[in-house]
Structure 1
Amino acid sequence: MNSHLTAITQELNINTDACLYRFDLDLSHCHLTVLSNTQALVSELRDYFRSYPQHQATADIEIHLIESSEPAPSYPWADWAREAGKSGRKDSYVDIHKGRLLHKVRTGMVFFQSNMSRLAVGPCLQNINQVVNFINNQYMNYLQQQEHVICHAAAVSINGKGTAVAAFSGGGKSTLMLKLMDHPGAKFISNDRLFLKANSQGVLSRGVPKLPRINPGTILNNPKLLSILDPEEQHSLNRLPQTELWDLEQKYDVMIDQVYGENKIELETQLDTVLLLNWDRKSSDKPLLTKVNPENHKKLIGAIMKSPGPFYQDAKGAFLAGPEIPALEQYLAVLNKVNVYEVSGGVDFDYLAQIYLETA
């Protein structure tokens, strides 16, 4: 154990030697090994990531997860600023021991992040989604340190060609992505974070092993997803006005293998097309697909731009001080190499999926 991890575990009064249970996530070019002090947590993670390779190998990244009562560290916490349009306290942090200690205000979870050590402490079993996010953040750091550009986008591969879907907040990127999954040649790549890097064939897109987390409106408008809700929930939600249903934040996981079958997930593909949803819920027009030059639609590119967040650490060990977004030029450098379409007009997921898949 390195000195920085030793120091932080002593301060938090925990013991990583108790982490006797192991879970491996083999992402081919990056191997993550997770060690925990509870078998139940490892079992939960194995089940969540069951569609991804879990072969044991030498770890590129090692993560310790300590199930415990809520720790109460007394540090000079600073609030992490929320992104535009979001309010309320969510994360606070302090940079210490050549890393960052981050406190989830609502759940009490505490995470330590450095380029040498990764640690989660608290009621992990009650907050599996935060634990999954922390594990994925380590892979996201790896990709960004390998010069991939972070994107706020969902993505599928259709007959081997990648399609990314981006939208401004609440624009329906996950709903459309899951509609595109109906294509027999479609495979799920990613739901909310996509990483792009130019290569000799064009642009490589890589997703993260995170299942789609969707709102009830997405479920009710896709027959394949209805089984996620029990009949009573369906009845209750169907009674809500459409505008209220659209804005309802109540997340459900989509188990891709259960809904779409086995072997319907892959982590990377060559990117062919980006769909930027710029449609209007109040419009009765049919959606319109228009090919655009990213250089001439820089405001629209904002839909795909995303801050790496408080866990991001560059290869030299530096963290961000706030929700900074990578430079526009980094996005243009990759988007100029693929087909980019603006989707305007009214919102109609079925129609848009149909006209797009006819050309896929």
Structure 2
Amino acid sequence: MNRVDELLSGLDLSVAAKAEAFYMRVGHVRLTVRCPEPLRARLMDYFVETLSPEPGEITVHLLPGQELAQDIDWTEWQREPGKTGRKDAICDLQDGRLVRKIRSGVTFLQARDIAVALGPLQDNISTVINFVNTQVLSACLRQGWQLCHAAAATREGRTLAISGLSGGGKSTSILKMMDIDGMQFLSNDRILVQAGEPPRVLGIPKHPRINPGTILGNSRLHGLLSSQRRAELQQMPASELWALEEKHDLIVPRIYGPDRMCLSGPLTDFWVLNWSHDSSHPTRVAPISLADRRDLLGAIMKSPGPFHQHPDGHFEPSGATIDPAAYLKALKGARVSEVSGRIDFDLLAQEGRRLFDG
């Protein structure tokens, strides 16, 4: 079994070390990122809302184009229930873990004080962004925060998180809330929650990646598509448009302007989307108890994934189960509601206005 230092000896870390580092701060977590241009400029542009003048205690090294010299015995990572396709492979070392993205070939070396990404990084910028964000996620998990699969927005001491099954409309819903005056974007897909009265929430700095249906339903976003593409999509049946996977990056400051992001706040409200296009019932937002609705809790809970290293040094095992009790404790004090009935984003936006203006 290989050790981290053996693998590092076959890599040229000076490529990253010689480059001018940039620093990030996400809540209480601080990062130092070292990588050459042009990747550095692209990442700084993406993470502009988190840039800090102070170096961080966590350092990420990015090595575009490099490969491991050793042959690695990879094991496929078991994905969460409902997820299909081969995504990640892992190889556990004596003092660390290797993770490889099966489709792209991007490889990561993760250990207690080491975070290295290598391979075709320039062609897989979203994967690199996720790796940087993973360092924030793991740091918080080691301090007892819980990872939730949710989008969130915040204003004046109130934060609304919205969860639901994949494709259920989290991004569309939270972007509808962004049309409320003074609303700030907190997260698109991942939040960390810490128990408290009320609970505290920290957003992972990931801008929305949205499908055409979300864009067509919000006039503010139409510029993300060419006029020709919009015309083509408008001819599609609603059911096909809803299912279409064609991701577009929405960089929040470019669309909504400066000061429209805030990555932390008090978690006051949590909505779980349990609606459908086929429902004959009107859209309804009703308070529920997560202790009595474990089916809805399942939509909130999120595995930390193969990169996570626990406080005692061991890595998250493949196929590990999630502890519901930890989530119930962390979310105690937040008002949780179920969104049921037929899908109606405009009505949900009205409910959001009442929530924040009430």
TM range (shorter): over 0.9
Work out whether 1:114 is the aligned partner of 2:111: yes
2:164–2:170 contact (8 Å) kept in structure 1? yes
Give the Cα separation in 1 of the matches to 2:70 and 2:84.
24
Residue of structure 2 in register with 1:340 after alignment: 336
Residue of structure 2 in register with 1:32 after alignment: 31
Give the Cα separation in 2 of the matches to 1:97 and 1:248.
43
The letter of the residue matching 1:264 is: R
Q: Deviations over 1:241-296 (max 9, x none)?
A: 21121122221111111111110111100011000111121124321011112221
Residue of structure 2 in register with 1:253 after alignment: 249
Residue of structure 2 in register with 1:312 after alignment: 308
1:286 to 271, 277, 282: 282
Residue of structure 1 in register with 2:130 after alignment: 133
What's the CA shift for 1:59? 2.2
Residue of structure 1 in register with 2:273 after alignment: 277
Q: Deviations over 1:281-334 (max 9, x none)?
A: 112432101111222111111110111111111111111222434311111112
1:156 to 153, 171, 179: 153
Give the Cα separation in 2 of the matches to 1:280 and 1:55.
42
Paired residue secondary structure (2:168): coil
Give the Cα separation in 2 of the matches to 1:4 and 1:27.
31
Work out whether 1:48 is the aligned partner of 2:52: no
- Large movers: runs of 4+ above 6 Å: none
Give the Cα separation in 2 of the matches to 1:121 and 1:264.
33
**Superposition map of 1:3-42 within 5 A:** 5-10=4-9, 13-19=10-16, 20-21=18-19, 22-36=21-35, 38-42=36-40
Residue of structure 2 in register with 1:184 after alignment: 181
2:4–2:93 contact (8 Å) kept in structure 1? no
Residue of structure 2 in register with 1:349 after alignment: 345
The letter of the residue matching 1:156 is: A
Q: More displaced, 231-240 or 340-349?
A: 231-240
What's the CA shift for 1:82? 1.8
Give the Cα separation in 2 of the matches to 1:227 and 1:284.
34
What's the CA shift for 1:28? 4.8
What's the CA shift for 1:95? 0.6
Which segments of 5 or more consecutive residues in structure 1 lack a partner in the other structure? Answer: none
How many residue pairs are counted as aligned between the two chains?
Answer: 353
Q: CA RMSD in A?
A: 1.6
Give the Cα separation in 2 of the matches to 1:49 and 1:325.
32
2:90–2:97 contact (8 Å) kept in structure 1? yes
Give the Cα separation in 2 of the matches to 1:333 and 1:152.
16
Paired residue secondary structure (2:124): helix
Distance 1:71 1:114, change over 3 A: closer
**Sequence identity percentage:** 37
Q: Deviations over 1:206-247 (max 9, x none)?
A: 111111111111111111111111112212222222112112
Which segments of 5 or more consecutive residues in structure 2 lack a partner in the other structure? Answer: none
TM-score, normalised by the number of residues in structure 1: 0.94
